[in-house]
Amino acid sequence: RRASLFQIEKMIETGVIKFLLIEKLDRLSRDSAYNIELLRKAAENGCDIIDVDQGGKIDIDDRSSRMIFHVKNFINEDYSYE
């Protein structure tokens, strides 16, 4: 994991940031398990993750948003092995 991503994770855990704006999910991380973990931490700490490519907040409580997140996550990780 990148050092800057580790810093962002700590800022989410401590409540320093309330939203994280990402251009695309694969720019955050291509590790799907890590993305799921980070999204849960964000939700637990009141931090919204806004995916510009997806067109809004990644909402783990919304079934369609969660499904899109998981599909994109799988595709991103699959392409990282090529």
CA 39, CA 82: separation in Å to the nearest integer? 25
Q: What's residue 82's pLDDT?
A: 55
Q: What's residue 81's pLDDT?
A: 57
State the average pLDDT over residues 16-29: 87
**pLDDT tens by residue, 43-77:** 999 999 998 987 888 887 888 888 888 888 788 77
CA 79, CA 61: separation in Å to the nearest integer? 27
Cβ within 8 Å of residue 46, ≥6 positions away: 15, 18
pTM, rounded to two decimals: 0.76
Q: With CA atoms as reference, report the closest residue to 73 among 6, 41, 60.
A: 60
